[in-house]
A and B are shown apart, each in its own frame.
Chain A
């Protein structure tokens, strides 16, 4: 890929990092008139290590859990300065910084109605600190704090329904996206910033190190999550399901066997059945199935 003036190459992300690609797509879609507040996490660490920065837009990192509040302050300042109509404000963070420790700040931001786009880069664990389980880690996953063992199948809870939590705030736009579908992600970011008010997009971003897949398999893995129904792509506008990506559902095994983090489940039909049920529920709920 050629160099981007808004997210420059030379950062220190791992090879095949889905978050690096998605972050670049987000800022490019938003354009140069954007200010970003970033939570602590992999993205912040690999993109902004003094004295270098990958960011070609104004960018600020404060703490792990407060990007939504920092962005609220930026937005308030822009309103005061009379510049809000020409500048987009994005708050972004990982799944841990969003769904766990930063949930309160995010909820406040959504409830107060700030004109901010919040992006959650969902790599389904606390990757920056060494692949610990978060509230968005999927059922059955092997992480360093949800290891399988005689008494455990791995992470014993399903993903926290973050998009629904965001939606419950009555905000005008909620969407999921995936690093495996770059054009879809770009379109959603563009649409989100055209809408006034709080917006939430959760982007599924594979992490080769944490998920244990080959670095060149990033796109394949990301696509499989969507194609199995485990990571449904949808858009809610003003509380109504406006769009979803329809699929010819593949069995979840195809996704599970693509990554080391699910390896312990592959000879456990009972657990695979449970995960298939999660996919089936998504397929039903969002009406994902393409009719032949």
Chain B
């Protein structure tokens, strides 16, 4: 059913349709509208779920961990400091192979405190053993949650999924979204029926101490599952398309005007909408430029990236996060994807933009294409204000 709605509202609607039995969250901007909507949905009796109002994100994540271990589908959402406060539990959930689905409404990290969008929060948790899937628009945000449950609960997978959507830009943005109907959701997403759960009828112990004789294999197993999941994603995407008529291809990357391109920007999330516009403008002027959008950041689709860009001479990676003191996060992956390979771009330049909600405009994107020259740059910040750099910015 098509509705002109706020992104958060659309996400709450799809979570309702996925029918989690336990929801737990703690308020943080810009995640709040999602969980407020869900609280109302539960209060109205439209969803038979336990909504647990906790005293912190650490406990929100722990509540959904405990509920998931008891065999119930669960949901949580957070942003920024909240995600960091959850960090311990985030790793724990993956290590225990619990199919938790959460929304990360992407927001910058303090200090300085800043409630606006970038992707530093989720990217900083890239090593946790969670899938990270980034939405470009609110239709994707909705669909990726549904796909997320299907993926997480797949018996071959049994790993948590983080659906990342840019804070404010998507969470508070109004768009027309096709919200999947309940009967179709039921067709696509079977009831959650775990192999193992906390149940006195069959007592098991979970979360045991693993000494050096056993620990490594647990990590290896997740690594192998992650790698194999690159294929499961396209499988699930096909089934999704069959039910809902929206084709996300392999769900790993989106290629936009890359085939004959001599310059391509690689990026993730809502900024890709702006990049597509910039590409269209330049194409209209005969310039061979394109966009490669990373949809799934964990597991990272190295082979797909290689295939997509092996014949492109120059690539600009636009990160909305930094790894202070090192190359930007997505740029590192791009370089890894081509290292030691026969083919690949001559130049992989890395740009950082949009931090703390700084607007990335069409002009910003044209500037990135301009700076993508034969001379490779690393972590080149765009849209900086030179007048501010003169002052002491440590305060």
Contacts and interface: CB of A to CB of B under 8 A. Distances in A.
B287 interface: no
Nearest to B50: A76
A71 B208 CA distance: 17
B31 interface: no
Interface string A54-85: 01111111110110111111101111110000
A61 B62 contact: no
Contacts of A58: 198-200, 203-205
B102 to A, nearest CB: 14
Interface stretch (B53-61, B303-311, B357-365): B53-61
B111 interface: no
Contacts of A32: 200, 203
Interface residues of B, number: 42
B66 A71 contact: yes
B70 A73 contact: yes
Nearest to B66: A73
Contact of A104 (B49, B56, B199, B200): B56
A85 B19 CA distance: 23
A282 to B, nearest CB: 31
A219 interface: no
Nearest to A55: B205
Given A50-B210, A77-B67, A62 B205 contact: no
B65 interface: yes
A69 B58 contact: yes
Contacts of A69: 54, 58-59, 62-63, 66
A65 B89 CA distance: 10
Interface string A149-182: 0000000000000000000000000000000000
Contact of A80 (B49, B55, B204): B49
Contact of A50 (B49, B56, B64, B208): B208
Most chain-B Cβ atoms within 10 A of its Cβ — which of A33, A55, A76, A78?
A: A76
Contacts of B74: 73
A111 interface: yes
B207 interface: yes
A87 interface: yes
Nearest to B56: A104
Given A50-B214, A76-B22, A80-B50, A63 B89 contact: yes
Contact of A81 (B58, B70, B210): B70
Given A63-B88, A104-B55, A112-B52, A74 B66 contact: yes
A76 B63 contact: yes
Given A60-B69, A104-B55, A73 B203 contact: no
A53 B54 contact: no
Interface string B198-228: 1110011111111100100000000000000
A87 B54 CA distance: 22
Nearest to B213: A50
Interface string A29-58: 000111101000000110011110101111
A59 B206 contact: yes
Nearest to A5: B203
A58 B69 CA distance: 10
B48 interface: yes
Interface string A12-32: 000000000000000000001
A60 B205 contact: yes
Contacts of A53: 205, 208
A10 interface: no
Nearest to B204: A58
Given A50-B208, A66-B62, A77-B70, A111 B48 contact: no
Contacts of A61: 206-209
Nearest to B92: A62
B349 interface: no
Interface string B84-108: 0000110010001000000000000
A105 B58 contact: yes
B22 A49 contact: no
A108 B54 contact: yes
A81 to B, nearest CB: 7
Identify the interface centre among A32, A69, A78, A81: most chain B CB within 10 Å of its CB: A69
Of listed B52, B68, B89, B214, residue having the most chain A CB within 10 A: B52
Nearest to B70: A77
B205 A77 contact: no
A79 B48 CA distance: 11
B209 A45 contact: yes
Interface in A205-228: none
A37 B208 contact: no
A65 B214 CA distance: 24
Contacts of B70: 35, 73-74, 77-78, 81
Given A70-B65, A112-B52, A49 B209 contact: yes
Nearest to B215: A50
Interface string B328-368: 00000000000000000000000000000000000000000
Contacts of A55: 203, 205
A107 interface: yes
A8 to B, nearest CB: 11
B273 interface: no
Given A76-B21, A78-B70, 7 more contacts: A57-B200, A58-B199, A61-B208, A73-B69, A81-B21, A81-B72, A108-B54
12 contacts: A45-B209, A50-B210, A51-B208, A61-B206, A62-B92, A66-B89, A73-B69, A76-B52, A80-B21, A80-B48, A112-B52, A112-B53
Interface of A: 32-35, 37, 44-45, 48-51, 53, 55-63, 65-66, 68-74, 76-81, 87, 104-105, 107-108, 111-112
